[in-house]
């Protein structure tokens, strides 16, 4: 019997209230409880953890890495090479939430990435995800789901509420400079900070691509195991890349496509509806 048959389906609907959708639209982020049940996470966690162990290429000790490298072990697009991870990433439930929060008719997959913040791992500096993405739309969203119960001391998310309405805020990749610059900006512009705090395995945050966010270091002795999935609204066009990261993303996540085209390579299937 295959791994896929043994894994639970993740296609049932998650009921969102109008108030939750309005909150996401206003703040650019939301924390949702029990997006996955305990049983579902217990089934998928070993699949994803094993895929990360097999695919992760970072072998340097933490002290030999830069700030970005200390923030987490980043393993991307598990679905391409792991059938069980594919079933998780292609969940209609997750994509349904993404579509309804963005008020999009249909959503496509951009890519997935496991973000495992090791014990004593460093902070994740303030940044905007969409700085990396050559997508000409504000309708982008990331689901951030812990696979284990995570406490605040393990490095859960902090969001600058309303910052998504500012759009592009600068050519700053995740770095000491982005931490310093955006931390100052958050204070100067008076953004309210929302901290997700303790989260159970299967809870999830969703945030817009332009939402400023960060996470403290992992001050525990346990790895913070998180799986993320990025979506964008169907109908988005590809921007002319204006930094090296967007050129890299265009080549990797939108293979064979050119600026100006509708985004939708074979790596970007419609996941909902």
pLDDT category of residue 4 using cuts at 50, 70 and 90: very low
3-class secondary structure, 140: strand
Domain holding 249: CATH number? Answer: 2.60.120.620
Q: How many CA atoms lie within 13 A of 59 on its CB side?
A: 3
Residue-range definition of the domain harbouring residue 243:
16-272
Name the residue with tokens 């809870």: 203
pLDDT category of residue 3 using cuts at 50, 70 and 90: very low
Residue at 7 is within a domain: no
Determine the average pLDDT of the residues in 172-180.
94
Distance CA 220, CA 272 (A): 37
Question: What are the tens digits of pLDDT across the range 20-60?
Answer: 999 999 999 999 999 999 999 999 999 999 999 998 876 76
* Number of domains composing the chain: 1
Q: Which residue has the higher pLDDT, 123 or 85?
A: 85
Determine the average pLDDT of the residues in 139-143.
98
3-class secondary structure, 202: coil
The tokens describing 43, both together, are 């089934």
Residue in 113, 128, 105, 142 with CA at minimum distance from that of residue 175: 128
Q: Tell me the whole-structure pTM to 2 decimals.
A: 0.92
Question: What are the tens digits of pLDDT across the range 72-102?
Answer: 678 999 999 999 999 999 999 999 999 999 9
Residue at 162 is within a domain: yes
Residue at 110 is within a domain: yes
Q: pLDDT value at position 1? A: 34
Residue at 144 is within a domain: yes
Q: pLDDT value at position 182? A: 96
Residue at 4 is within a domain: no
Residue at 2 is within a domain: no
Question: What are the tens digits of pLDDT across the range 197-226?
Answer: 999 999 999 999 999 999 999 999 999 999
Determine the average pLDDT of the residues in 7-17.
96
- Predicted confidence (pLDDT) at residue 259 exceeds the cutoff of 80: yes
Residue in 169, 140, 155, 161 with CA at minimum distance from that of residue 229: 140
Task: Return the C-alpha torsion angle 236, 227, 79, 13, nearest 10.
Answer: -70
**171 class by beta-carbon count within 10 Å (0-12 exposed, 13-18 middle, 19+ buried):** exposed
Residue at 5 is within a domain: no
Determine the average pLDDT of the residues in 244-257.
97
Q: pLDDT value at position 156? A: 95
**pLDDT > 90 fraction of the chain, expressed in percent and rounded:** 87
Residue at 196 is within a domain: yes
């Amino acid at each position: 019997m295959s791994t896929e048959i043994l894994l639970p389906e993740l296609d049932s609907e998650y009921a969102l209230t109008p108030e939750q959708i309005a909150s996401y639209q206003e703040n650019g982020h939301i924390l949702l409880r029990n997006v996955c049940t305990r049983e579902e996470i217990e089934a998928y966690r070993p699949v994803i953890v094993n895929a990360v162990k097999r695919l992760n290429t970072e072998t340097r000790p933490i002290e030999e890495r830069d700030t970005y490298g200390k923030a987490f072990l980043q393993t991307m697009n598990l679905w391409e090479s792991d059938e069980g991870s594919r079933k998780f990433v292609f969940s209609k439930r997750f994509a349904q939430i993404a579509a309804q929060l963005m008020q999009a008719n249909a959503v496509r997959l951009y890519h997935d990435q496991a973000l495992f913040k090791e014990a004593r791992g460093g902070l994740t500096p303030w940044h905007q995800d969409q700085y990396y993405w050559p997508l000409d739309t504000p309708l982008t969203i990331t689901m951030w789901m812990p696979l284990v119960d995570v406490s605040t001391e393990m490095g859960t998310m902090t969001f600058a509420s309303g910052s998504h309405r500012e759009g592009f805020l600068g050519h700053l990749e995740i770095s000491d400079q982005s931490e310093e610059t955006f931390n100052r900006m958050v204070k100067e512009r008076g953004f309210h900070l929302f901290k997700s705090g303790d989260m159970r395995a299967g809870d999830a945050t969703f945030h817009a691509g332009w939402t400023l966010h960060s996470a403290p270091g992992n001050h525990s002795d346990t790895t913070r195991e998180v799986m993320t999935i990025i979506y964008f609204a169907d109908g988005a066009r590809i921007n002319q890349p204006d930094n090296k990261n967007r050129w890299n993303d265009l080549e990797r996540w939108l293979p064979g496509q050119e600026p100006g085209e509708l985004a939708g390579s074979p790596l970007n299937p419609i996941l909902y509806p």
